[in-house]
């Protein structure tokens, strides 16, 4: 802040609050939609009838819709509302372009609607939080660039010399999200609605979780830290506790975060060196994260009494506390000994929701309660309703997170339990469901409480808006050129007073971690020892794999047998990196609502799979898996089969010319073999139906390595 001398020429201008109003309303609207979808998905695990035997209402399609709606629609719109409001005031300048602002808003809403439609239609890449197909990925890149131009253009026309710490976090977010999105979305299209990742197997997994982890970092964390550094002082009417600490917080966080992604792949077929790096940097992340939490909370020093009466501060303080809890729990779960128990369980779901509902959700609600009265030039309709919302939200999160902790730890222990004779105590999946079911119910109730609070907020904000009118905020500041340089802070000005230099150094800090992990994993062949018996999928299996992806099977089933006795006894030989070299995208999964499927090939006859997919309870007592009757009715479409095989060959799969030319005929022949076998056992002829391709794929899973045991290498 430069205190302008009295004789400085002052310029008057208006802030563009209309765009902030639009994003604020979109935040509230999409928040409710995204959370309602999540609530339905939660109760589908309690009562599978809630899948209604309707393709677009099944858990596998709703879960990515829920995660994407909450992350990119609810949180995304909140980020844009908060950054556009604060960057104008911090830079004492109207946004760079009103047209770009409108393009940004409507473009983003169009992307959200496109995402909802395509997910429900089963159009997905299956890469978590990046499931959108390539045309929408291109649209995201275009809209993000518009946002970046609008943001950096505002910095260019600023009237304030120094970039405040909130702006640093916004810069890091814009740069990192662009980088993550572009690299992780690299794919070869075969049609408007289908593409294949340019990365395969463990390399695809490393890139995906580099993206997935850092989407949490640079979409769910750093923008909100920027918002915290702006809105917390505003609400508390106190300066930030320690500007020194904020410098350490920022640089520590942006440098360390990008290295931690591999902690999502511990004990998998990912090379050990990458797993170790992920763990070490995850533990180091605790320091800057807690520095930021302390800085946010202590901003309220001397004003803690306001917590009793101000609902905005209640939301902010609880949100920052959840940030601290999540950033402690994350490093804890990235320790290999803890991860061996927690990974693939509900503990991860509890951790993710502690962050999303607690940190992002509560902070966004506090920000909306602070912003909306100001944007509509009025007072909040009801402080009591806002306080009631706070307590409903807090209790809801408590129910949710604690039930998932209990369920996760119970699951992890049950998976590993052996009796005195060395047999698995819980040998079948349905043995474990009675323990988990009450926890799923409590989780759903927690979610319902949280959403009740959101409904209260919507009513409160609606009545607030009705009682006011859109305000026009005028401001006054001296132009940058007329402002004298301060005597102190010369070295800070070289960085924090120069947006371009600052952005370049931030980019370097962001890139180092990712580059040093991803480039060696792609460039050094010894990371993925090949296995001679592992061959590309047949054309019919390719189609079956696409159906597996389309139905979102990866949301409930992993394909990664970890090297634990409990897993090798339950599933079979542990998974090797060389087994996944033709998997585009990889299907390791991140959660086992059902059992791992990597060694399911050949475990059961085709007859079993036919009955299981038609009604899982006919083969697995008490199963919570939905029925898939449409796979027996929908025709198997082979129009793109040849193009798909060609695309895989282009990406390195050794298909012969004959296999490409005769891809459709080969698929039909394999389908006929499977169908004839089932017909001979008294089942209907399924040769032209989707289910035949899915059976072919499932029967292939994890079988290549069994053909030549001697050729199987290590990790």
Partner 1 sequence: MKAEILSRTEWLQLPLVAVVLFVAIFVLMLAWIVRPGASRFYAMRGRMALDDGEVRGE
| Residue 117 contacts partner 1 per CB under 8 A | no
> In whole angstroms, what is the distance from residue 557 CA to residue 566 CA?
17
Residue with tokens 């909100």: 224
CB of 249 to partner 1, least distance (A): 11
Note whether 446 and 398 are within 8 A (CB): yes
> Is 355 in a helix, a strand, or coil?
helix
* Shortest reach from residue 472's CB to partner 1, in Å: 5
Pick the piece of the chain touching partner 1 (CB under 8 A) from 111-119, 194-202, 425-433, 486-494.
Answer: 486-494
- 239 vs 652, beta carbon nearer partner 1: 239
CB 475 → partner 1: shortest distance, Å?
4
Q: Which is nearer to partner 1, 92 or 646 (CB)?
A: 92
- Cα 399 to chain centroid distance, Å, stands at 22
Can residue 484 be called a binding residue for partner 1 (CB under 8 A)?
no
Site membership for partner 1, residue 280 (CB under 8 A): no
Q: Which is nearer to partner 1, 517 or 606 (CB)?
A: 517
377 vs 703 by CB, closer to partner 1 = 377
Q: Are 62 and 44 in contact (CB under 8 A)?
A: yes
**Judged by CB under 8 A, how many residues of this single chain contact partner 1?**
45
Query: Which residues partner with 418 through β-bridges?
Result: 424
Check residue 488 for interaction with partner 1 (CB under 8 A): yes
For 6-10, the CB contacts below 8 A with 24+ separation are 8/478, 8/482, 8/483, 9/478, 9/479, 9/482, 10/476, 10/477, 10/478
- Work out whether 222 is an interface residue with partner 1 (CB under 8 A): no
Choose the stretch contacting partner 1; rule: CB under 8 A; options: 195-203, 236-244, 400-408, 704-712. 236-244
Q: Which is nearer to partner 1, 10 or 186 (CB)?
A: 10
Taking CA atoms, 513 is separated from 252, 510, 520, 574, in Å, by: 12, 7, 12, 29
Q: Pick from 102, 157, 162, 463 the residue near partner 1 by CB under 8 A.
A: 162
Q: For residues 65 and 165, which CB has a smaller minimum distance to partner 1 in the complex?
A: 165
Token pair listed for 400: 């949710």
Measured between alpha carbons, how far is 601 from 616 in angstroms, rounded to an integer?
17
- Binding to partner 1 in span 171-210, by CB under 8 A: none
Stretch that binds partner 1, among 69-77, 111-119, 313-321, 484-492 (CB under 8 A): 484-492
Which residue reads 């589908």 in tokens?
Answer: 44
Dihedral angle of Cα 192, 631, 119, 257, to the nearest 10 degrees: -100
Give the binding range for partner 1 (CB under 8 A) out of 26-34, 41-49, 233-241, 500-508.
233-241
* Token pair belonging to 93: 């300048």
Spatial separation of the C-alpha atoms in residues 598 and 305, rounded to whole Å: 56
The strand pair at 194-197 and 187-191 is best described as antiparallel
Side-chain half-sphere CA neighbours of 651 within 13 A: 25
Is 244 a binding residue for partner 1 by CB under 8 A? The answer is yes
Residues 539-555: b if buried by 16+ CB within 10 A, e if exposed: bbbbbbbbbbbbbbbbb
SS3 string, 460-526, reads HHHHHHHHCCCCCCEEEECCHHHCCCCCCCHHHHHHHCCHHHHHHHHHHHHHHHHHHHHHHHHHCHH
Q: CA quadruple 127, 133, 136, 138: dihedral positive or negative? A: positive
CB of 177 to partner 1, least distance (A): 23
Residue 230 binds partner 1, judged by CB under 8 A: yes
Least distance to partner 1 from the beta carbon of 486, Å? 8
Please tell me the distance from the alpha carbon of residue 533 to that of residue 709, in angstroms, as a whole number: 9
Residues in a beta bridge with 188: 196
114, 242, 383, 703: which one contacts partner 1 (CB under 8 A)? 242
Q: Which of 79, 465, 477, 671 binds partner 1 (CB under 8 A)?
A: 477
Q: Which of 452, 471, 507, 673 binds partner 1 (CB under 8 A)?
A: 471
Question: Rounded to 5 degrees, what angle do the CA atoms 196, 197, 200 make?
Answer: 115
Q: Which is nearer to partner 1, 273 or 304 (CB)?
A: 273
- Which range of residues in 131-139, 232-240, 626-634, 681-689 is near partner 1 by CB under 8 A? 232-240
Q: Which is nearer to partner 1, 315 or 426 (CB)?
A: 315
The answer for residues whose C-beta is within 8 angstroms of residue 317's C-beta and 6 or more apart is 297, 300, 307
In 3-state terms, what secondary structure has residue 80? helix
- Taking CB under 8 A as the rule, does residue 211 contact partner 1? no
Q: Report if residue 619 touches partner 1, rule: CB under 8 A.
A: no
| Among the residue ranges 309-317, 475-483, 632-640, 641-649, the one whose residues contact partner 1 (CB under 8 A) | 475-483
**Please, what is the minimum distance in Å from the beta carbon of residue 31 to partner 1?**
25
Nearer to partner 1, 469 or 681 (CB): 469
403 touches partner 1 by CB under 8 A: no
Instruction: Indicate the burial class of 87 (C-beta count within 10 angstroms; 0-12, 13-18, 19 or more).
Output: buried
User: Under the criterion CB under 8 A, does residue 92 sit at the interface with partner 1?
Assistant: yes
Contact call for residue 80 and partner 1 (CB under 8 A): no
- Select 107 or 252, whichever has its Cβ closest to partner 1: 252
Place of tokens 């910095």: 155
Per CB under 8 A, 665 contacts partner 1: no
Under the binding rule (CB under 8 A), the answer on residue 239 touching partner 1 is yes
Number of Cβ within a 10 Å radius of residue 421: 5
Q: Report the residue number, 48 or 92, with the smaller CB distance to partner 1.
A: 92
714 binds partner 1 (CB under 8 A): no
Shortest approach of partner 1 to residue 87 CB, angstroms? 12
Helices and strands in the chain: count of H runs, count of E runs? 26, 4
Could you say which residues in the range 511-540 bind partner 1, by CB under 8 A?
Answer: 520, 524, 526-527
Q: Does residue number 658 form part of the binding site for partner 1 (CB under 8 A)?
A: no
- Which member of 46, 89, 463, 535 binds partner 1 (CB under 8 A)? 89
Q: Is 476 in the site for partner 1 (CB under 8 A)?
A: yes
Token code pair at residue 492: 């800070």
- 394: tokens are 């807090």
List 160, 567, 583, 704, residue binding partner 1 (CB under 8 A): 160
Question: Which of 20, 39, 90, 120 touches partner 1 (CB under 8 A)?
Answer: 90
Confirm or reject binding of residue 14 to partner 1 (CB under 8 A).
yes
Q: Which of 200, 213, 325, 221 is nearest to 277 (CA)?
A: 213
Contact status: 269 vs partner 1 (CB under 8 A): no
CA distances to 642, 645, 649, 663, 691 from 657, in Å: 11, 10, 10, 10, 28
Classify residue 361 by its DSSP letter: I
In the complex, the residues that contact partner 1 under the rule CB under 8 A are 1, 12, 14-15, 86, 89-90, 92, 159-160, 162, 164-166, 229-230, 233-234, 237, 239-244, 247-248, 251, 271, 273, 471-477, 486, 488-489, 492, 520, 524, 526-527
């Amino acid at each position: 802040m430069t205190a302008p001398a009295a004789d400085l020429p002052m310029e008057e201008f208006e802030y563009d609050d209309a765009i902030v109003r639009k994003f604020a309303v979109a935040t509230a609207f999409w928040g409710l939609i995204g959370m309602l979808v999540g609530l339905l998905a939660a109760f589908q695990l309690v009562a599978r009838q809630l899948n209604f035997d309707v393709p677009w209402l099944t858990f596998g399609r709703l879960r990515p819709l829920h995660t994407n709606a909450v992350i990119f629609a609810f949180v995304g719109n909140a980020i844009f509302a908060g950054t556009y409001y604060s960057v104008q005031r911090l830079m004492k300048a109207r946004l760079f372009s009103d047209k770009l602002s409108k393009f940004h808003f409507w473009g983003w809403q169009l992307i959200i609607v496109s995402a909802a439609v395509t997910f429900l239609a089963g159009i997905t890449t299956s890469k978590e939080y990046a499931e959108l197909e390539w045309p929408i990925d291109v649209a995201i890149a275009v809209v993000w660039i518009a946002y970046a131009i609008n943001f950096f253009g505002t910095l260019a026309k600023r009237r304030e010399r120094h970039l405040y710490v909130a702006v640093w976090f916004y810069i890091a977010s814009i740069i990192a999200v662009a980088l993550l999105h572009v690299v992780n979305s690299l794919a070869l299209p075969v049609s408007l609605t289908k593409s294949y990742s340019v990365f395969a197997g463990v390399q695809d997994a490393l890139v995906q979780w580099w993206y997935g982890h850092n989407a949490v970092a640079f979409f769910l964390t750093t923008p909100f830290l920027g918002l915290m550094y702006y809105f917390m002082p505003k609400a508390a009417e106190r300066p930030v506790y320690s500007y020194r600490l904020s410098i350490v917080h920022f640089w520590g966080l942006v440098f360390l975060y990008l290295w931690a992604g591999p902690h999502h792949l511990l004990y998998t077929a990912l090379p050990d060196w990458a797993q170790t790096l992920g763990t070490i940097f995850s533990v180091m992340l605790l320091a800057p994260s807690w520095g930021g939490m302390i800085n946010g909370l202590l901003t309220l020093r001397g004003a803690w009494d306001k917590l009793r009466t101000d609902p905005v501060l209640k939301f902010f303080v609880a949100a920052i506390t959840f940030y601290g809890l999540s950033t402690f729990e994350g490093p804890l779960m990235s320790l290999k000994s803890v991860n061996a128990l927690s990974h693939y369980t509900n503990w991860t779901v509890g951790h993710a929701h502690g962050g999303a509902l607690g940190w992002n959700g509560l902070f966004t609600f506090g920000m909306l309660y602070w912003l909306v009265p100001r944007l509509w030039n009025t007072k909040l309709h009801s402080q009591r309703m806002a306080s009631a919302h706070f307590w409903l939200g807090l209790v809801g999160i408590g129910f949710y997170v604690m039930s998932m902790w209990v369920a996760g730890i119970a699951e992890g222990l049950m998976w590993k339990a052996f009796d005195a004779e060395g047999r698995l105590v819980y040998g079948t999946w349905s043995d474990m469901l009675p323990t988990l079911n009450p926890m799923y119910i409590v989780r759903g109730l927690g979610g319902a409480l949280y959403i009740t609070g959101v409904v209260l907020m919507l009513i409160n904000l609606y009545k607030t808006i009705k009682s006011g009118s859109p305000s026009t905020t005028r401001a006054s500041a001296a132009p940058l050129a007329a402002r004298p340089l301060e005597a102190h802070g010369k070295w800070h000005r070289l960085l924090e007073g120069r947006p371009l230099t600052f952005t370049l150094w931030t980019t370097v800090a962001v890139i180092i971690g990712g580059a040093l992990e991803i480039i060696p994993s792609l460039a050094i062949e010894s990371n993925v020892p090949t296995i001679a018996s592992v061959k590309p999928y047949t054309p019919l299996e390719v189609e079956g794999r696409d159906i597996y992806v389309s139905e979102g099977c990866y949301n409930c089933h992993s394909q990664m047998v970890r090297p634990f006795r409990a897993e090798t006894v339950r599933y079979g030989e542990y998974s090797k990196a060389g087994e996944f070299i033709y998997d585009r995208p990889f299907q390791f999964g991140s959660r086992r609502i059902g059992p791992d499927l990597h060694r399911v090939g050949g475990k059961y006859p085709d007859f079993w799979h036919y009955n299981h997919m038609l009604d899982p309870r006919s083969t697995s007592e008490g199963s919570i898996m939905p029925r898939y009757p449409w796979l027996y009715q929908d025709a198997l479409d082979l129009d793109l089969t040849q193009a798909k095989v060609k695309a895989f060959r282009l990406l390195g799969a050794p298909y012969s010319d004959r296999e490409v030319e005769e891809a459709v005929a080969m698929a039909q022949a394999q389908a006929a073999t499977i169908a004839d076998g089932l017909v001979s056992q008294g089942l209907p002829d399924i040769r032209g139906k989707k289910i035949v391709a899915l059976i072919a794929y499932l029967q292939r899973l994890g079988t290549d390595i069994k053909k030549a045991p001697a050729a199987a290498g290590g990790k």
